[in-house]
């Protein structure tokens, strides 16, 4: 009979979940664990999304795991290649047999008397000492989908990228993609070579930057050095460059704006209206900056295969979209690349000692745990850099915490802020629409460490790999109402 009680339950078998399992297996050999996956396949986001051109929006030397070198010549990888990389990792490390597919988690209830989570799944309850959420930050079952007047009058197909129809034939079709984010920027050039024409319809522009799909320096190093050594060097190179660029957007935004527009001008036709279509009213990285590998979007525009229209939707009509300006965008297929719907903890309800809890009412502890919620961590990566950079660090920290608890003979670890800690902002510090719409799914960042959520990999690396696991953490034993002790000093 399969066990239903574990030391650790990992929720989600995507990029973060498989990485977390490898860390746990290697660093916490005394812990029993399993992965609960709601779907029937490994891969998470990279298995769910199947729209044309699906790819990473950061390089695989930083999106890949620290312990598994990325060997392909392409630094900006397509979805199937990333999915294969995740599955290969799971197989190489013996993770796959520990995954329980079809176990969609709907609720988790904590009991301090027994120091156990009872986790409700589609296939029955399980219990654990520590719950490790690797379920991402958006709703897998529902994307953000506005509605428009006249949709019922449109005689073509309306598609959301999150639910792309298998074998959709768009060859020779007129396609309108509504949106200007990463999904739209990916879809437009991917469809343009086959469709009659693809139009990207945006309300406002998005900052975009092009970079080569392959990393020349990385490929040279891989040819002359051992794989892990070359990978480590390229990873640090890309992390350093990324951090430098992000810092420039914070300290010299006007110079970054000017530089981005100059680069765009070289990639588009000489008379192209950059002011209307590529100059947002906000600074770079106030919202997400879109990556255009090998300038594919700009090449499609220059070739006349694709175009950008910046306007408001008045209504849908039988043969397309009527804009507020009066223009009609004729279409056979309309793609609503209108964004994600944020969701806390995979949508599960949370109860602590009989009381419902919301993540939005909590402070984020080191960007991975929550004030007043014991024995629960969330893998949450970077928004301004590769997701895995922080998820790898969080996995290291969780292992350090579990080992500390086992060593000290304590069962419960509850992040507990001192009186001077106050919330300052959302933990996800972006002005993007999907972040503001989903504020109720996000914890708050505090005014000082360890409650300050940063976008700084160097800071987080020091804090999560070398910093204390005991600061402002209340430890207790099971069946004890009072905390066993409050440890403030470093290990």
pLDDT of residue 210: 96
Residue 365 has pLDDT above 90, yes or no: yes
Which of 304, 336, 368 represents a domain boundary (last residue)?
336
Give the integer Cα–Cα distance in Å for 4 and 420. Answer: 41
Per-residue pLDDT for 92 more than 80?
yes
Here the tokens at position 17 are 């979940």
Report pLDDT for 93: 98
In a domain, 56, yes or no: yes
Total number of domains in the chain: 2
Can you give the pTM of this predicted structure?
0.94
Q: Is the pLDDT of residue 437 over 70?
A: no
Closest CA relative to residue 459, chosen from 473, 448, 470: 448
Calculate mean pLDDT across residues 126-150. Answer: 93
Give the pLDDT band (50/70/90) at residue 424: confident
Q: What is the mean predicted confidence (pLDDT) over 388-410?
A: 97
CB hemisphere CA count around 147 (13 angstroms): 5
- Asked if pLDDT for residue 1 goes beyond 60, the answer is no
> Do 404 and 317 belong to one domain?
no
Q: What percent of the chain has pLDDT over 70?
A: 94
Cis previous bond, 450, omega within 30: yes
Rounded to the nearest integer, the mean pLDDT of the chain is 93
Helix 253-267 to helix 227-251 angle (10° resolution) is 110
Find the radius of gyration of the CA atoms of the chain: 24
With bands split at pLDDT 50, 70 and 90, how would you rate the model's confidence at 434? low
Helix axes 15-27, 387-408, angle to 10 degrees: 30
pLDDT band at 379 (very low <50, low <70, confident <90, very high): very high
Look at residue 480 in the predicted model and tell me its pLDDT: 53
Do 281 and 351 share a structural domain?
Answer: no
Residue 159 lies in a domain: yes
Angle at 136 between CA 135 and CA 141, to 5 degrees: 80
| 222 located within any domain | yes
- Asked if the model's pLDDT at residue 15 lies above 70, the reply is yes
Q: Is the pLDDT of residue 290 over 60?
A: yes
pLDDT computed for residue 429 by the predictor: 64
Which one has a higher pLDDT value, 148 or 483?
148
Instruction: For residue 248, give its domain range.
Output: 151-336
The confidence score (pLDDT) of residue 231 equals 97
Q: Which of the pair, 202 or 285, is modelled with greater confidence? A: 202
Q: Which residues of 283-306 are buried (b: 16+ CB within 10 A; e: fewer)?
A: bbbbbbbbbbbebbbbbbbeeebb
Do residues 410 and 277 both lie within one domain? no
**Domain CATH code at residue 439:** 3.50.50.60
Q: How confident is the model at residue 483 (pLDDT cuts 50, 70, 90)?
A: very low
User: What average pLDDT does the segment 321-329 reach?
Assistant: 98
pLDDT digits (tens, 9 = 90+) for 153-188: 999 999 999 999 999 999 999 999 999 999 999 999
| 115 and 172 assigned to the same domain | no
Same domain, 414 and 457: yes
Q: Are 216 and 74 in contact (CB under 8 A)?
A: no
User: Average of pLDDT values for 46-74?
Assistant: 96
Q: Considering the domain boundaries, does residue 423 fall inside one? A: yes
- Provide the token pair at 476: 């207790």
Least confident of 77-86, 115-124, 340-349: 340-349
**Other residues' Cβ atoms within 10 Å of the Cβ of residue 123:** 12
């Amino acid at each position: 009979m399969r066990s239903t009680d574990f030391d650790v339950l990992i929720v989600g078998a995507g990029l973060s979940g498989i990485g977390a399992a490898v860390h746990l297996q290697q660093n916490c050999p005394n812990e029993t664990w399993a992965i609960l996956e709601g779907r029937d396949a490994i891969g998470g986001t990279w298995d769910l999304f199947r729209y044309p051109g699906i790819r990473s929006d950061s390089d695989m030397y930083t999106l890949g795991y620290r312990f598994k070198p990325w060997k392909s010549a392409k630094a900006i990888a397509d979805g199937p290649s990333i999915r294969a990389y995740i599955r290969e990792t799971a197989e190489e490390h013996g993770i796959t047999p520990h995954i329980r597919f079809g176990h969609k988690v709907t609720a988790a209830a904590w009991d301090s008397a027994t120091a156990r989570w009872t986790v409700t799944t589609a296939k029955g309850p399980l219990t654990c000492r520590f719950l490790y959420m690797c379920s991402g930050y958006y709703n897998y079952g529902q994307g953000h989908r506005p509605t428009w007047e006249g949709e019922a009058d449109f005689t073509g197909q309306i598609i959301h990228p999150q639910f792309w129809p298998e074998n959709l034939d768009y060859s020779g079709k007129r396609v309108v993609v509504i949106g200007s984010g990463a999904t739209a920027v990916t879809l437009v050039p991917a469809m343009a070579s086959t469709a009659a024409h693809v139009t990207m319809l945006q309300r406002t522009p998005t900052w975009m930057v092009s970079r080569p799909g392959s990393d020349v320096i990385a490929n040279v190093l891989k040819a002359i050095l051992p794989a892990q050594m070359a990978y480590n060097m390229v990873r640090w190179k890309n992390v350093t460059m990324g951090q430098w660029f992000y810092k420039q957007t914070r300290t010299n935004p006007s110079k970054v704006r000017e530089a981005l527009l100059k680069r765009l001008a070289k990639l588009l036709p000489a008379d192209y209206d950059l002011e209307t279509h590529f100059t947002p009213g906000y600074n770079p990285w106030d919202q997400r900056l879109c990556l255009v590998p090998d300038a594919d979007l700009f090449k499609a525009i220059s070739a006349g295969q694709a175009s950008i229209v910046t306007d408001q939707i008045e209504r849908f009509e039988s043969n397309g979209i009527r804009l507020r300006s009066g223009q009609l965008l004729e279409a056979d297929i309309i793609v609503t690349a209108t964004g994600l719907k944020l969701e806390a903890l995979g949508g599960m309800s949370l109860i602590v000692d009989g009381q419902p809890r919301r993540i939005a009412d909590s402070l984020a502890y080191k960007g991975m745990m929550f004030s007043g919620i014991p024995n629960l961590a969330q893998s949450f990566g970077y928004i301004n850099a590769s997701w895995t950079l922080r998820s790898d660090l969080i996995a290291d920290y969780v292992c350090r915490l579990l080992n500390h608890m086992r060593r000290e003979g304590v069962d419960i670890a509850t992040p507990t802020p001192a009186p001077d800690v106050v919330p300052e902002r959302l933990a996800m510090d972006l002005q993007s629409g999907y972040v503001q719409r989903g504020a109720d799914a996000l914890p708050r960042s505090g005014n000082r460490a360890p409650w300050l959520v940063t976008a700084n990999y160097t800071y987080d690396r020091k804090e999560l790999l070398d910093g204390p696991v005991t600061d402002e953490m209340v430890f207790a034993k099971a069946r004890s109402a009072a905390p066993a002790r409050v440890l403030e000093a470093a290990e």
